[in-house]
Amino acid sequence: MPNSAGPGRHVPVLYNEVLAGLRPASGGVYIDGTVGAGGHSAGLLAASGPDGRLLGLDRDPAALAVARARLQEFGGRVRLAQASYTQMAEAAAGFIPAEGCDGILLDLGLSSLQLGDPARGFAFQADGPLDMRFDPSVGPSADEIVNQWPLDELADLIYRYGEEPLSRHIARAIGAARPLHSTQALAAVVAGAARRGRGGGAGHSGIHPATRTFQALRIAVNGELEALAAVLPSAVGLLRPGGRLAVIAFHSLEDRIVKDFLRAQAFGGETDPAIPFPASFAPALTLITRKPMTAGPEELAANPRARSAKLRIAEKL
């Protein structure tokens, strides 16, 4: 959910595309499973006035505080809850009608609020503790993984969730440098290991050498891929016929899960749309976006972080 504005001017990624895809209308009921600073939610509520309603969920209490202030103008039309989107069905009980809601949004990844707070430990541009938890009160932190996990398991994590080919070099360097308790200390160790693993070359990816390792740790700390795989069928079940699901992913691991799920729901076990439906298969979704929508030049100029965002939309049959 990266954006380029502060809390008072929050303009979320692919804002216009999300609103166009979800088609908010008066009287509609919507769920924002990753409400963040409330930018998308504000747009959905404004466009569904005067009586559209929205349920907003987020694991991060700091994000919810910002969203609550942002959305207070909508009064009783909005309900906010500190919860994972995997708890969407429970949170929606009594809020959405029996036939289901009109639209669900999942804007995955990190907000600028989270990235910009060194105390949260998500980034290494400024020094902070190795935390990385969306909900700071729940579960092990990145510090525990970095300093306590066996090195082979740490290497596997960095390879699987960071798609980092130098994961074993990096894990060995982390083990030799333990204990590591700050973001910049970890980033320096990872960068050094990456340079040595490449034989001293600078690499060609254009990203900081520690980016993939930080991504892997964050995904593991928050169980992000498991949560995404769990919420998608639940979200489809909460939609009314004709309701739409919109998902914004920010890296290939997320986008692959979303793409494969949507295509399976649309085309059955065979995900090639050129293959006819199996005789026993009844599709649950139709794809609104056959290929993901991405940010245009104007948005990229204003918000370079949007370059990795991919939006996929499907409609319940």
pLDDT digits (tens, 9 = 90+) for 31-76: 999 999 999 999 999 999 999 999 999 999 999 999 999 999 999 9
pLDDT band at 215 (very low <50, low <70, confident <90, very high): very high
Q: CB–CB of 10/70 below 8 Å?
A: yes
pLDDT score recorded for residue 6: 38
- Segment 264-315, tens digit of pLDDT: 999 986 555 555 556 667 899 999 999 999 999 999 999 988 999 999 999 9
Please say if the pLDDT value at position 201 is more than 60.
no
Q: Where are the domains of the chain?
A: 7-113+224-316, 121-222
The span from the CA of 130 to the CA of 123, in Å, is 9
Measured at the alpha carbon of residue 110, what is the angle toward residues 87 and 169, in degrees to the nearest 5? 110
The span from the CA of 206 to the CA of 53, in Å, is 42
Assigned token pair, 188: 């320096």
CATH 3.40.50.150 fits 7-113+224-316, yes or no: yes
Q: What are residue 296's DSSP bridge partners?
A: none
pLDDT score recorded for residue 112: 80
Strand positions, DSSP E, the chain: 29-32, 53-58, 78-82, 101-107, 239-249, 285-287, 310-316
pLDDT score recorded for residue 197: 87
Q: CB–CB of 18/246 below 8 Å?
A: yes
Residues 6+ apart with CB under 8 A from 301: none
Q: Which of 3-7, 83-87, 308-312 has the lowest mean pLDDT?
A: 3-7
Q: CB–CB of 106/239 below 8 Å?
A: no
Whether the pTM exceeds 0.85: the reply is yes
How does DSSP assign 173-201, residue by residue?
Answer: HHHHH----BHHHHHHHHHHHHHHHTTT-
The span from the CA of 184 to the CA of 250, in Å, is 23
**What's the mean pLDDT when you consider all of the chain?**
92
The span from the CA of 48 to the CA of 310, in Å, is 24
Q: Do 121-222 and 7-113+224-316 have the same topology in CATH? A: no
The span from the CA of 282 to the CA of 160, in Å, is 34
Residues 6+ apart with CB under 8 A from 125: none
CA 247 to chain centre: 8
Q: Which of 73-82, 203-212, 238-247, 308-317 has the lowest mean pLDDT?
A: 203-212
- Segment 111-153, tens digit of pLDDT: 888 889 999 999 999 999 999 999 999 999 999 999 999 999 9
DSSP-derived 3-state class of residue 240: strand
Average pLDDT value for residue range 256-267: 96
In the DSSP assignment, the letter for residue 77 is: G
CATH 1.10.150.170 fits 121-222, yes or no: yes
Please say if the pLDDT value at position 204 is more than 80.
no
pLDDT score recorded for residue 11: 73
Average pLDDT value for residue range 167-193: 98
The span from the CA of 138 to the CA of 131, in Å, is 11
Percent of the chain at pLDDT > 90 equals 85
Average pLDDT value for residue range 223-247: 97
Query: What are the counts of helices (DSSP H) followed by strands (DSSP E) for the chain?
Result: 13, 7
In sign, the C-alpha dihedral spanning 123, 124, 127, 133 is positive
Closest-CA residue to 147 (of 127, 130, 125)? 130
pLDDT band at 3 (very low <50, low <70, confident <90, very high): very low
- Segment 153-169, tens digit of pLDDT: 999 999 999 999 999 99
291-296 CB contacts, 8 Å cutoff, 24+ apart = 292/249, 292/255, 292/259, 293/14, 293/17, 293/21, 294/14, 295/13, 295/14
Percent of the chain at pLDDT > 70 equals 91
